[in-house]
Each structure stands twice: as C-alpha cells, then as structure tokens.
Chains A and B, each alone.
Chain A
C-alpha cells in the first residue's frame, strides 16, 4: 500500500518541474496564468512532501551522524533495530499527536469552506492543509508500524 502511494507521489515531481518552468514564459511572454501555475505548483509540492518524509524513512535516507558507518538493514541486529524503532516512536508520537490535535479543527474549518488561496482566490488551498495533516498522519503510522509490527507485516 505505502509502496504504491510513494510511487504515485514520486511522479509528482515531473508536473511540479513543468509548472514552475512555465511560470517564466507565462509571466514574461503570455503575461497571464503564472499565478495560477504557482498555486497549482504549491498544491503539488505540498502533496509531494506529505508523502516524501515517510518515503525517506522507508528508504533510510534521513540524515544521521553515523550514516556513513550505519550498517545495512539486514546487518543490523534485531535488538538494535528494535531500540532504534522504539526511540523513533518516542520522539515522533507525542509531536504527531499534538499536531493532529491542534491542527484538525483548522483543517475541518478549511475543508468546510473549500478554502481558496488568499491572494489569487484560486480554489484548492485546503489541499495544502490536507497535505500537512496527511504528512503528520503518515509519520505517526509509519513510526507505529516500525515499532509494533514484525518486518514482514510492515506496509
């Protein structure tokens, strides 16, 4: 499941690059549409990053002091891996729960009014807030899965 979500999200970098690239001709040559391209780019960027943080955790791409000497997943002792997963859960779970608790009312209010971008009134600003909520939820679920599920059952 998570693998498919990551694959789908990874494709978003292509339209994101295209949208940001066309802003220049839209602004200088066409003189229209560049703000719309920027707003769409923001939505794509937010959705991309919502998945990217968890994708980095899955790929063990996060920056760490001992990264250059860190053993590969298969070589890590199960005790060390369990300690690491528990420590990560202890770091991330309180933060994730606080974020979900503090942010959910704001998200619901944004969804109820289909919030638009403030400057351009382009529809879809609520998607950026939804992306943040999704990012935090994925971080929490991944940390829980790493700590509680055996490796073969992790998403």
Chain B
C-alpha cells in the first residue's frame, strides 16, 4: 500500500464527502486518522513523524497571511448588509446605459462590474455568490433566467482571478511551498527561477484576469442586448440618488487605492484587507447603518465563516501529513516526471485532473488538499511556477462554471431565486463564457509571457548570474582544499 496509500485516502475521502454529507474538515481528519492508524499497525507510518502535527498546527496559527482570512470574511459579511454594493450596482448600471439601448446589457455589465469590484475584497466564491444572488439576481428580470443564472455564476467566480482576493493569497502561499518542493524533485528543470511568493502570483494573474473580464464583458453585453427589451420600455428603473453615486464613487476610489497600494508594493495584501475592513466598519459606524443586533450578527457570521475556513485548513494539514507518510506525493511526482509524453501534454493532463477535482470541490478544498499534491510536479513539468499558478487559477474558475456540479453554478441555481432553468438552456447560456475561458487557458498555456508582464526587472547579468553546477563544484573544491594545496596551486599559477 505504501506509495499508493494516499490515493486510497483520496478515494475514501471523495466517497465519504459525497455519500455522507458530513463536514469536509471532519472527514479530512477522520480519513487521515484511520489511515494513520492503519499505517502504524502495518509499520508504514512512524509515530514520531505524526508527532510533528501539533507543530504544523502552531505554524497555521502564527501564519502572517492567514490573518487576512477573518478580515476578508468580515468585509464580505459587511458588504452583504450595507448599502455600498447596492449603490455600486445602481451607479454602474447607469454608467453603462449609454453603451447599449438595451437595458439588459447595461445591467449585465453592471453585474460583472460589481463582481469585479467586490471580489478582491470578498471572501470566496460562496461569499460573492451570496452577495450577487441577494443584490443582482432580482434586478436581472429583463434577462432570460438561464442567462441571468449564467451571469450570476460567472460574476461570482471573478474573485478567483482578480487580485488580491483571498483565493489568490492562499494560492500564492501554496505555490511558494510547491515551488520549493518542485526544486527538490529529481529531474526538475526550473531554469534558475527564484522561488515565487504571493506578490509574484498577484502580478502574474493581473493580465489574464483583465483578459477574462474583457472577454466576459463582451459576452455579457452581447447576451444582454438580445433580450429584445430596450431601456425605453415600460419596465421602470430606479433612478440613482446622489447619495448612492457618492457612496459608489468613494467605494471605487478606496478599492482602486488599496489595489494600487498592493501592486505598487506599498501595502501587503493583508494590510489592504485590514484597511478595507476598518474603513467599511468605520463608515457603517459613522452612518449608523447597523443596529447592535445587526453588528452582533455580522460578528457572529464572521466568526463562524472564518472558523469553517480555518477548520478546512486544519483538516487539510492533517490529511496531507498522513498522505505524505505513505510517500504518495513522491510516487505521483515520479509518475508525472517519468511520463513518456512531452512536458506540455503531460502538464495538460495534470491540469485536466485538477479540473475534474475542482468540478466537485470548493476553491479552498482545492488549495488546501489537491494543489499541494499536484503543483510541484506541474511546476517541474512546465518549468515556470507563475505560469503554473495562473493556469491552476483559470482551471479552477472554469470548473466552477461547468454544470451541474460546478460550485458557482450550483450556488447560483440554489440561491439566486431565478427559478428552475432547464439544463440545455443553462448550458447554452454558459457556453460563450466557458469558451472564452478555454481560449484564455490555451493562450496562457502556449504563451507563458502573458503572465510575466509585471515581473520585476531582472538584475544585471554581472550581479546576479546564477552559478553553473561546474562553478559551484569548483568553488567547493577550492574551499575544501588544504591550505598547502591552495598555496602550491597559487605558486603553480604564477
């Protein structure tokens, strides 16, 4: 069982998740505990290695990046209760109206715009979906329900690629570790690329995210104008009040300032999330937007949702330790690296496997359970960690949009209140978005330069030329040589 033991763990986990409906974090821990006991009984596992688990948990609690988690959740929960998102949507719909005489088009574009603006400060796909279902879905009455459901699903996934969302921050951290591991894999050719960090992932994702938004905006506009209802039709539209316009202007300015601060390197993403949370809370307090009971509900929801995310992390940490005890990570890496196929087709197969997993799992489960396993060999095969990170993000986003199991579609159908939509019609509505996404994935796959537009400039060759293996061996031999040898070598050299 050693080597493939982890695969049995994954299979058991998948079956139990689907069959029992129990919380995933508890199943992660339960499956890991059962296999650890089995490993101890058969001698495949060592109790001393399992004793490293508390140390790993302490590592989670003192992790700088993870401190952002409750702050993002806090902002997401606050946004659902404050008028900021309503004001943003109304103002965007008014702004986009001149682009088309069809009201459906301006509302579709406003829905996408709202998703793009709040996604970076929102917690997750689930959180974005909840916000859009409450706020946007009831106002998409002019659209065909299938197209409205597709639009809400698509807008909810924008946070997966638009920096500096929580998904991106956590993926950045996972990629840092994966890149470090990839460097230690036998036969990995990383071309001297330094270990990437979260900022590198944010920078790499920016241009593809902009492309996704542009392509989807085109699709939303095109689908919206085919409603057959013009803005001069009899369906009344609520006017934008001055207060709404002012709130929207301030909110957009703050979001752009914080994003600019993160990309300019003046602010860490965690600090930007904290600043956003503080400003939003201060605005709510100053405007007396919430009563004490509502504040208590906001704080209680934030605590519970943060706890749910952290519990997943606890479960995934336990699961991955036992998974590695069986050596399955090395077994998988050898399988990928020893593939008879060329690197690109092999990488494409790995990404297809990721897409399949993401079709049934949430972004956080993917980041905490699957990506730490598949990312190191993927990086080793592609030879570019930033490209691998962006491809993983785009593939996650794509899978969330494939019905019936895709997470964003599932949430939109369950929560938006848009009514039952026949699957063929939903598929037709989603198809243009999915095709645009596939085209972008292909572009990033074949043109890695797309993710390196914002890379820091390379240092001059004289200052940072990486030493070759021969140089390193020669330097080590010189350092290890006894003084008299070195002296005679120097004499001989004269």
Interface residues of A (CB under 8 A from B): 6-7, 9-11, 13-14, 16-21, 23-24, 28, 38, 41-42, 45-46, 48-49, 51-59, 61-70, 84, 87-88, 90-92, 94-95, 98-99, 102-103, 106, 128-129, 131-132
**Cβ of B267 and Cβ of A59 under 8 Å apart?**
no
With A21-B271, A52-B306, A63-B23 known as contacts, the answer to whether A41 contacts B67 (CB < 8 A) is yes
Which residues of chain A have C-beta atoms less than 8 A from B74's C-beta? 13, 17
With A17-B281, A53-B311, A63-B24 known as contacts, the answer to whether A132 contacts B67 (CB < 8 A) is no
B303 within 8 A of A: yes
Q: Which residue from chain B places its CB closest to the CB of A96 in the assembled complex?
A: B29
Extra inter-chain contacts (6) besides given A59-B304, A68-B415, A98-B50, CB under 8 Å? A17-B74, A51-B303, A56-B311, A62-B26, A65-B17, A128-B58
With A42-B62, A56-B305 known as contacts, the answer to whether A20 contacts B71 (CB < 8 A) is yes
With A16-B71, A53-B314 known as contacts, the answer to whether A21 contacts B275 (CB < 8 A) is yes
Which residues of chain A have C-beta atoms less than 8 A from B415's C-beta? 68
With A21-B274, A63-B362, A102-B51 known as contacts, the answer to whether A52 contacts B303 (CB < 8 A) is yes
Candidates A38, A51, A88; contact of B64 at CB < 8 Å:
A38
**Max chain B Cβ within 10 angstroms of own Cβ: one of A10, A16, A63:** A63
7 contacts between A and B (CB under 8 A): A17-B278, A24-B267, A42-B62, A46-B62, A57-B23, A63-B23, A129-B58
With A45-B70, A63-B312, A91-B26 known as contacts, the answer to whether A55 contacts B304 (CB < 8 A) is yes
**Cβ of A131 and Cβ of B61 under 8 Å apart?**
yes
Q: Which residue from chain A places its CB closest to the CB of B414 in the assembled complex?
A: A68
Which residues of chain B have C-beta atoms less than 8 A from A45's C-beta? 61, 66-67, 70
- Docked complex Cα distance between A74 and B57 (Å): 35
Q: Considering only CB atoms and an 8 Å cut-off, how many residues of chain B contact the other chain?
A: 66
With A10-B300, A13-B70, A46-B61 known as contacts, the answer to whether A62 contacts B308 (CB < 8 A) is yes
Q: How far is the CB of A76 from chain B (nearest CB, A)?
A: 11
Which residues of chain A have C-beta atoms less than 8 A from B362's C-beta? 63
B18 within 8 A of A: yes
Dominant secondary structure at the A interface: helix
Interface residues of B (CB under 8 A from A): 17-18, 20-27, 29-30, 32-33, 37, 50-51, 53-55, 57-58, 61-62, 64, 66-68, 70-71, 74, 266-268, 270-271, 273-275, 277-278, 281, 296, 299-308, 310-312, 314, 318, 360, 362, 364-365, 410-411, 414-415
**Cβ of A20 and Cβ of B70 under 8 Å apart?**
no
**Cβ of A64 and Cβ of B53 under 8 Å apart?**
no
- Docked complex Cα distance between A17 and B410 (Å): 32
**Cβ of B278 and Cβ of A21 under 8 Å apart?**
yes
**Cβ of B33 and Cβ of A94 under 8 Å apart?**
yes
Which residues of chain A have C-beta atoms less than 8 A from B274's C-beta? 16-21, 23
Which residues of chain A have C-beta atoms less than 8 A from B414's C-beta? 68-69
Q: How far is the CB of A61 from chain B (nearest CB, A)?
A: 4
What are the 4 closest A-B residue pairs judged by CB atoms, nearest first?
A91-B30, A52-B307, A56-B307, A66-B21
Candidates B51, B296, B305, B307; contact of A7 at CB < 8 Å:
B296
Which residues of chain A have C-beta atoms less than 8 A from B275's C-beta? 21, 24
**Cβ of B67 and Cβ of A91 under 8 Å apart?**
no
Which residues of chain B have C-beta atoms less than 8 A from A6's C-beta? 300, 303
Q: Which residue from chain A places its CB closest to the CB of B278 in the assembled complex?
A: A21
Which residues of chain A have C-beta atoms less than 8 A from B299's C-beta? 7, 10-11, 13-14
Q: Which residue from chain A places its CB closest to the CB of B362 in the assembled complex?
A: A63
- Docked complex Cα distance between A68 and B412 (Å): 11
**Cβ of A52 and Cβ of B310 under 8 Å apart?**
yes
Which residues of chain A have C-beta atoms less than 8 A from B301's C-beta? 59
Q: How far is the CB of A44 from chain B (nearest CB, A)?
A: 9
Candidates B30, B296, B304; contact of A52 at CB < 8 Å:
B304
Which residues of chain A have C-beta atoms less than 8 A from B270's C-beta? 20
